[in-house]
Structure 1
Amino acid sequence: MKAIVQERFGPPDTLRLADADRPEVGADQVLVRVHAAALNPYDWHLLRGDPYVARLMGGVGLMRPKSRVAGIDAAGQVEAVGSAVSALRPGDEVLGFCPGSFAEYASTTADLLVPKPAGLTFEEAAAVPMAAVTALRGIRTVGRVQAGQRVLVNGAAGGVGTFAVQIAAALDAEVTGVCSACNADLVRSLGATHIVDYAREDFTDGRMRYDVILDNVGNRPLSRLRRALTPAGILVANGGGSPGHFFGAVGSLLQVAAVNAFVRQRLRAILPAAPAGPTHKDLLAVTALIEAGRLTPVVDRVYPLADTAEGVRHVEQGHARGKAVVTVM
């Protein structure tokens, strides 16, 4: 099969289109014929082996990538199922977490897949898993957003942000989106009542306080973020784009946890959703919102598989509008 392979850590130029072995399917696994795969900040962190502490923790490989084929989000059709799989069958259209999704075929366990909503294209469906589940956990599970609360989403026009604005609005919160002026209309159309243009305004100046802040950017000190919270407010720091080659998001998580022990405000840190925890339940929750018309993926750009490196470069610049997606078949 054709796949985007990586033999060493480095910039997007280390990626190349090559032949790779088709994945094997275990008893509890599903082989997916990939139609589209999303590009995430998670992918370029793995591409560069960044942060370095992740290498020591065994998550990405020590001296070279743990997996030769990158990618995690996918949408496609079930090609084959293992002997212990009964919920899916060949031909089913699915979306979910498929490690090695930058390829014509990827294998994963059945619990990491859910049926693709009929109203979505494969490109739109591929944009859902990591970004939408991260947003759901940040807004509903960790942020515990309630109707009528004031919620601010920093990075509202990005992959996680576009889903987070919609989920908070679906919970009847009063949503403020922080984005550039050129993305204001998009974020407002997703359900934001107020827009903060980060080039002209500082939402941490203390003039307005929020019950919940979801920070997807990490460009404000923790002390400033706390100024924008109500006395009992909740900060949810999404470490997906956190800078720092050595500690990266892990450093942000540790800082938030340390300060949280001494303040009344609730400071929480989350990592991008990955194949762990109640993933199947969360995937079903976001697809239910999509089918109810409360959640719509925003696809920024679509690249052919051969141009995956160009797509990664675009995402790495940090100004993607919604999600960037690779088409495979």
Structure 2
Amino acid sequence: AGTALQACDLGGVAQGQKVLITGASGGVGSYAVQLAKSLGAEVTGVCSASKADLVRSLGADHVIDYAKNDFADGGQHYDVIIDIAGNPKLARLRHALTRTGTAVIVGGEEGGNVTGGFGRSLRAPFVSLFVGQRLAMLASKERASDLERLTPLIEAGKVTPSVDRTYPLAQVPDAMRHLEAGKARGKLAITI
């Protein structure tokens, strides 16, 4: 939940804003949907069709099936995009932002070779220097202040973990395969 909170903070998510979250059904994305909604944003989640009901249940107002629709081609413009999936090119993110919107890149990307999957994240701040939009990279850190802010939201039931499956410690390789296959809906828990 801390990474999602830091992404919302970096994006400046506020009441009345339109917020798009890619990877909305994953571990970080499921928290980002709930947090953006609790901040009063109109939330659109991007996920597969099989995970759309989960994302709606987390509070998303709208869901886009990435296999059928490209969020950047829908004609909607968002104040904040929190990109957790790591697939859209910077140009696609910028196309879907308002003229002064913010895109927060929360992870690496597929296919990175020289830059280890972080080429897009490293380019984003430089592109921001030349456009009206803000493109930011999040390097999440554990902070006690985040836990203090999350506690009342958790106690009030506004933020709840979405646990897809629980694995015993001996089955961590199976859990990793499930995660890498893109099948996880929320978090995976390991019992010790």
Counterpart pick for 1:233 among 77, 90, 101: 101
Pair member with larger Rg: 1
Separation in 2, partners of 1:134, 1:243: 23
Secondary structure of 1:182's counterpart equals: helix
Q: Does 1:324 align with 2:188?
A: yes
Q: 1:195 aligns to what?
A: 63
Q: Does 1:136 align with 2:5?
A: yes
Alignment of 1:271-286 (within 5 A): 271=139, 273-275=140-142, 279-286=143-150
Alignment of 1:259-274 (within 5 A): 259-271=127-139, 273-274=140-141
Q: 2:171 aligns to what?
A: 307
Deviation at 1:287, TM superposition (A): 2.4
Is there any run of 5+ residues in structure 1 with no aligned partner, and where? 1-131
Give 1:223's aligned amino acid: A
Is the Cα–Cα contact under 8 Å of residues 165 and 189 in structure 2 kept in the other structure? yes
Is there any run of 5+ residues in structure 2 with no aligned partner, and where? none
The answer to which structure has the higher helix fraction is: 2
Is the Cα–Cα contact under 8 Å of residues 86 and 109 in structure 2 kept in the other structure? yes
TM-score with structure 2 length normalisation?
A: 0.94
- Could you report, residue by residue, the CA deviation over 1:139-195 in whole angstroms, capped at 9, with x for unpaired residues? 1x1011110110000111011110000000001110001111111111111111111
Is the Cα–Cα contact under 8 Å of residues 13 and 36 in structure 2 kept in the other structure? yes
Give 2:182's aligned amino acid: G
Is the Cα–Cα contact under 8 Å of residues 206 and 227 in structure 1 kept in the other structure? no
Deviation at 1:205, TM superposition (A): 1.3
Separation in 2, partners of 1:288, 1:247: 39
Identity percentage over the alignment?
A: 53
Give 1:311's aligned amino acid: A
Counterpart pick for 2:38 among 170, 183, 187: 170
Alignment CA distance shift 1:296-1:208 (3 Å): same
Separation in 2, partners of 1:170, 1:207: 25
Is the Cα–Cα contact under 8 Å of residues 108 and 121 in structure 2 kept in the other structure? no
Separation in 2, partners of 1:155, 1:303: 22
Give 1:205's aligned amino acid: D
Separation in 2, partners of 1:162, 1:149: 18
Alignment of 1:150-229 (within 5 A): 150-205=18-73, 207-229=75-97
Deviates further, 219-228 or 250-259: 250-259
Separation in 2, partners of 1:305, 1:197: 33
Alignment CA distance shift 1:298-1:241 (3 Å): farther
Is the Cα–Cα contact under 8 Å of residues 242 and 252 in structure 1 kept in the other structure? no
Q: 1:127 aligns to what?
A: none
Secondary structure of 1:147's counterpart equals: coil
Is the Cα–Cα contact under 8 Å of residues 152 and 175 in structure 1 kept in the other structure? yes
Separation in 2, partners of 1:311, 1:264: 42
- Could you report, residue by residue, the CA deviation over 1:272-320 in whole angstroms, capped at 9, with x for unpaired residues? x344xxx111122222210121100000111101111111122122331
Counterpart pick for 1:287 among 151, 156, 176: 151
Separation in 2, partners of 1:184, 1:219: 18
Separation in 2, partners of 1:302, 1:206: 37
